[in-house]
């Protein structure tokens, strides 16, 4: 493909993408396929001779589209929202064209510098305390990670490294292995599984703190700390959640933060989904207490109209992370690395290579403006409230957790088995797509407003479908 053909095919691809997104609701949101569907549809080996582009595009419809779950469909209500917008997609194309790998400032200064400034822009949109921003004289700053899981992992590893150094001073008789075996991390029983995974990857123990109304309060954490210290453990890391995956509950960080600070425990905040909403003043109070945190993360690729991947992490003291795993081979060195005027993002993350992801932030922030982004969040919250009212008006159903943002947890006022059957019918109908969660002992259906294109009439039609399937369920002979 030469530049002339690239121009032609590029225009066609943009048309294909725009048509796909404009007409997405005509596609079945959740495919009906058996595992292994794809292998028989394509040859078992790569072609020896080049093939025609038109044939590849035909195969996109024949092979790929039947196996795609349409996350941008207004009938997709599973998991959490996924960011998508035209400016973000265009910026991603530009990123592909530049193809730079910005591991150090010298590897592509614009890639590093735009990221630092975008993290400050976004930090200011959230009214993060100054200490998290990278301005002159600050010890803090932000970085783009691929996912919330990576943010949790790198902060846990940094906290582990810090705790080991401190424990070596307090207990000089203990070996590093002994100290490691005593380190204890904490998170909510409602936290995302990625926190437990980070502890496993980091080789440290983790305890799950019980919740009150799905949120961790200070007494629950305090009790565990007393028990564990008495048993000889060294508490070193607490991951709070703002906007839990199951029910969008908010740990009481303003209560928990001071305890973590007193006990010398690194407090990380995982606000993967809900963090985007903190750009709206009405939701910002939920972030009060962030001033006690050592690190804070949320994923603009979830709810801020930026395409995957883009998960933003801020640190109060960036050297806690950048100096924890410092290696400095000659081939990565450059003359400006010790100038104090720049940073090398290779020290902030697990991989070395990194894409120019801040371009997506820059395009989206400029084309929507803060007001446009706030309007997007508010519209989706309003749609969730609309769905909540529909559920509340039907006496067969109950709402299972306070609806604060774009997630509604609901169920039939009946057994877990019946709710499981209802979800099975919904999934098999393939008209809308949702996933369940477990809230204490209850099997609950999660209805998350996800796609940018979702409107009130989609919500109304989704609810009609759910109630029709409920009627059918009650008419089944076994009921
Ligand atoms: N934390 C929370 C609260 C989440 O809801 C999720 C995913 O939905 C994650 C972490 C994991 O996100 P990621 O896929 O970006 O690692």
* Digit-coded pLDDT (tens) for 243-287: 999 999 999 999 999 999 999 999 999 999 999 999 999 999 999
Ligand 1 lined by 147 (C-beta under 6 Å): yes
Alpha carbon of 262 to ligand 1 centroid (Å) = 28
Which helix or strand (DSSP H or E) is residue 267 part of? strand 266-270
| Ligand 1 atom with the shortest distance to the CA of 245 | 5
CB atoms within 10 A of CB 7: 10
CA-closest candidate to residue 79, choices 165, 164, 193, 182: 193
How confident is the model at residue 479, as a pLDDT? Answer: 63
| Ligand 1 atom with the shortest distance to the CA of 271 | 3
Alpha carbon of 272 to ligand 1 centroid (Å) = 5
Ligand 1 lined by 294 (C-beta under 6 Å): no
Alpha-carbon distance of 199 to 438, in angstroms, equals: 22
Q: CB under 8 Å to 194, separation ≥6 — which residues?
A: 147, 148, 149, 152, 153, 270
Report the percent of the chain where pLDDT is more than 70.
100
How confident is the model at residue 227, as a pLDDT? Answer: 96
How confident is the model at residue 67, as a pLDDT? Answer: 96
Asked if 462 and 78 count as a contact pair (C-beta separation under 8 A), the reply is: no
Ligand 1 lined by 451 (C-beta under 6 Å): no
Helix residue ranges, H only, 109-147:
109-125
Phi-psi region of 38 (alpha: psi -120 to 50; beta: other; left: phi over 0): alpha
List the chain residues with pLDDT less than 70: 136, 479
How confident is the model at residue 326, as a pLDDT? Answer: 85
Alpha carbon of 369 to ligand 1 centroid (Å) = 26
R_g of the chain computed on alpha carbons: 24
CA-closest candidate to residue 268, choices 155, 370, 366: 155
Residue with tokens 């961790």: 216
Alpha-carbon distance of 410 to 348, in angstroms, equals: 40
Alpha-carbon distance of 423 to 445, in angstroms, equals: 7
How confident is the model at residue 274, as a pLDDT? Answer: 98
Tell me the average pLDDT of the chain: 95
CB atoms within 10 A of CB 335: 7
CA-closest candidate to residue 16, choices 64, 78, 83, 67: 64
Alpha carbon of 359 to ligand 1 centroid (Å) = 22
End-to-end CA, the chain: 61
| Token pair in block for residue 82 | 């996924």
Ligand 1 lined by 307 (C-beta under 6 Å): no
Q: How many helices (H) and strands (E) does the chain have?
A: 14, 11
Q: CB under 8 Å to 185, separation ≥6 — which residues?
A: 156, 159, 199, 202, 204, 205, 206, 207, 235, 236, 237, 238, 239
User: How many residues are listed for the chain in this entry?
Assistant: 479
The string of pLDDT tens digits covering residues 151-184 is 999 999 999 999 999 999 998 999 999 999 999 9
Ligand 1 lined by 247 (C-beta under 6 Å): no
Preceding omega of 21 cis (within 30 degrees of 0)? no
How confident is the model at residue 327, as a pLDDT? Answer: 87
Ligand 1 lined by 245 (C-beta under 6 Å): yes
The string of pLDDT tens digits covering residues 288-332 is 999 999 999 999 999 999 999 999 999 999 999 998 988 888 888
């Amino acid at each position: 493909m030469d530049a002339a053909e690239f121009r032609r095919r590029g225009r066609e691809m943009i048309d294909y993408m725009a048509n796909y997104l404009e007409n997405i609701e005509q596609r079945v949101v959740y495919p009906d396929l058996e595992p292994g569907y794809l292998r028989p549809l394509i040859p078992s080996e790569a072609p020896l001779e080049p093939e025609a582009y038109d044939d590849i595009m035909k195969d996109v419809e024949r092979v790929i589209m039947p196996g795609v779950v349409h996350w941008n469909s207004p009938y997709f209500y599973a998991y959490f929202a996924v960011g998508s917008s035209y400016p973000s997609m265009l910026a991603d194309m530009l990123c592909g064209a530049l193809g730079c790998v910005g591991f150090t400032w010298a590897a592509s200064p614009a890639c590093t510098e735009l990221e630092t400034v975008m993290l400050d822009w976004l930090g200011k949109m959230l009214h993060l305390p100054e200490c998290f921003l990278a301005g002159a004289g600050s010890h803090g700053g932000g970085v783009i990670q691929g996912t919330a899981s990576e943010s949790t992992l790198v902060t846990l590893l940094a906290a582990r490294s810090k705790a080991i150094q401190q424990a070596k001073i307090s207990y000089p008789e203990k070996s590093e292995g002994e100290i490691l075996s005593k380190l204890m991390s904490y998170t909510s029983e409602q936290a995302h599984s990625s926190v437990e995974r980070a502890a496993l990857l980091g080789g440290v123990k983790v305890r799950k703190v019980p919740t009150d109304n799905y949120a961790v309060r200070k007494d629950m954490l305090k009790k565990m700390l007393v028990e564990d210290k008495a048993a000889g453990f060294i508490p070193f890391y607490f991951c709070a959640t703002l906007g839990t995956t199951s029910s969008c509950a908010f740990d009481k960080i303003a209560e928990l933060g001071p305890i973590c600070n007193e006990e010398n425990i690194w407090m990380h905040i995982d606000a993967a989904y809900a963090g985007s909403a903190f750009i709206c003043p009405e939701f910002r109070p939920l972030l009060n207490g962030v001033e006690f945190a050592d690190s804070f993360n949320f994923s603009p690729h979830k709810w801020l109209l930026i395409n995957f991947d883009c998960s933003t992490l801020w640190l109060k003291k960036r050297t806690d992370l950048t100096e924890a795993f410092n290696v400095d081979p000659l081939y990565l060195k450059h003359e400006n690395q010790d100038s104090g005027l720049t940073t090398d993002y290779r020290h902030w993350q697990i991989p070395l290579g990194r894409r120019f992801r801040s371009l997506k932030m820059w395009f989206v922030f400029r084309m929507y403006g803060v007001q446009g982004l706030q309007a997007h969040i508010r519209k989706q919250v309003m749609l969730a409230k609309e769905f909540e009212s529909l559920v509340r008006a039907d006496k067969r159903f109950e709402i299972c957790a306070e609806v604060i943002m774009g997630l509604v947890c609901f169920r039939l006022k009946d057994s877990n088995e019946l709710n499981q059957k209802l979800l099975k019918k919904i999934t098999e109908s393939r008209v809308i797509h949702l996933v369940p969660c477990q809230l204490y002992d209850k099997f609950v259906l999660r209805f998350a407003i996800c796609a940018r294109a979702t409107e009130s009439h989609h919500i109304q039609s989704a609810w009609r479908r759910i109630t029709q399937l409920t009627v059918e369920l009650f008419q089944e002979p076994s009921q």
